[in-house]
């Protein structure tokens, strides 16, 4: 009987060792202890966000929407009439650099419907699928998309 009891206790310890050997993330490595510190993500102040050198802003055209200026974010950049020019087939486009590009890019990241992948305007690809890129601009709703230039 003592022998049978010892085998059960041994099996119990082996099972406990297997369970202890599995990390909480499903890996087979040991769980983190004070001897094995857990890697932490850098704090927001430690990370430096990357910003493009410039952004291309396009106004594909007029948009018919039921949205009001209260429903959409405020356009952060200068008035498009100050820097955009006709650019077939993308509508009107212009380039912002420096701080204006950074502020515009940051706003587009917060409003991702307005953010294009790089090269889309140069390739002449259609911007019709970006119709949710609406901004409040000078009291009206404007359709503006932002393409970072890295």
Q: What is the pTM of this model?
A: 0.65
The token pair at 8 is: 């059960």
Closest by CA position to 104, among listed 73, 130, 126, 125: 73
Q: Are 54 and 146 in contact (CB under 8 A)?
A: no
Q: What is the DSSP string of 98-125?
A: HHHHHHHHHHHHHSGGGBPPTTTTTTT-
pLDDT at 78: 96
- Residue 84 CB contacts under 8 Å (≥ 6 apart), including other chains: 57, 58, 59, 92, 93, 94
Low-confidence ranges of the chain (pLDDT < 50): 1-33, 35-47
- Residue 71 CB contacts under 8 Å (≥ 6 apart), including other chains: 134, 141
pLDDT digit string (tens) for 30-48? 444 454 444 444 444 434 5
């Amino acid at each position: 009987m003592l022998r049978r009891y010892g085998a059960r206790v041994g099996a119990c310890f082996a099972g406990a060792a297997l369970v202890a050997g599995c990390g909480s993330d499903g890996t087979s490595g040991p769980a983190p202890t004070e001897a094995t510190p857990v890697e932490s993500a850098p704090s927001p102040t430690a990370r430096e966000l990357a910003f493009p050198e410039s952004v291309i802003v396009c106004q594909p055209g007029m948009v018919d929407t039921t949205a009001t200026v209260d429903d959409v974010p405020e356009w952060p950049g200068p008035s498009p009439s100050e820097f955009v020019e006709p650019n077939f087939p993308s509508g009107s486009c212009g380039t912002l650099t420096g701080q204006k590009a950074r502020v515009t890019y940051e706003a587009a990241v917060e409003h991702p419907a307005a953010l294009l992948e790089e090269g889309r305007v140069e390739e002449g690809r259609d911007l019709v699928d970006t119709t949710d890129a609406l901004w409040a601009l000078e009291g009206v709703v404007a359709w503006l998309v932002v393409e970072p230039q890295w």
